[in-house]
Each structure stands twice: as structure tokens, then as C-alpha cells.
Amino acid sequence: MNDYLSPEIEAALKAARKQAMRNSSRLRVLVDDNSYAINRMWNEGFALDLEDAPHLRGLVDVYDGAKHLMQCLIIASDAQAGEMLYEFKRATAAVDSAPLDYVRAADAPVALLGS
């Protein structure tokens, strides 16, 4: 049996798949004051929708909702299957405190109380 879908139905299915992917992902990339939804992400990079994605290059921030995940140095690598692919040159996890330059003891006091 041959399966045949009309071009209209095929385009509608592709649009529905793209919309479902966009709705399920909370990941976003922030460049200057512009924000773009990330379709998918892997260890070496991420993909944005080709229609929305500019040719990004440089330092960007990746967010999961309101949580800052990482700061990345990226380069646009390829456009395929309706997505623009970006590769990480560097990806540094975001932390909410400054790094320590000494080892903190496990039983160290949290604060000192004066008398």
C-alpha cells in the first residue's frame, strides 16, 4: 500500500510538529536584548528555528525559563531541516556566587556572632 499525503497536509503536519517543539521547550538564548526559543540542545551546541534565527556569533546567554544556565561563545555552523545549528566554542555554567580561591572546611561556621 502506498501512503500519500497532499502537500497541504504535509505542510500542516510540519507546522504542528514545529509548534509542539517550540511549546515544549523552555530553553531560550538571549543575545543583547533579543530572545530566541531553542528547539533542541546537545553537548556541542543547539538549534533554533531557521525562520526566527539570525546568523548569531559571539557571546550569548542560555536560560531555562528564568534560570540562567550558561554563558556561551557560539558560532553558526549549518542550516538543515528548517533549523539553524550553532556550535559552542566555549560553554561556561552560570553560578550565583563567586568562586572561592581556598578550600572551605566542611565544619566552618556560617557567620560570626559578636558579643
DSSP H helical ranges for the chain? 7-24
Per residue in 25-66, pLDDT (tens digit) is: 689 998 888 888 888 899 999 998 888 778 888 999 999 988
pLDDT, position 115: 67
CATH assignment of the domain containing 78: 2.40.10.430
Q: Please tell me the pTM assigned to this model.
A: 0.67
What's the pLDDT tens digit per position in 87-113? 999 998 888 877 788 888 888 888 877
Assess if residue 80 is contained within a domain.
Answer: yes
> Domain count of the chain?
1
Per DSSP, the three-state class of 54 is coil
User: Span 58-80, mean pLDDT?
Assistant: 90
In terms of residue numbers, what domain contains 68? 26-93
Strands 45-49 vs 27-31: parallel, antiparallel or unpaired: unpaired
- Residue 71 has what pLDDT? 93
| Residue 74 one-letter amino acid | I
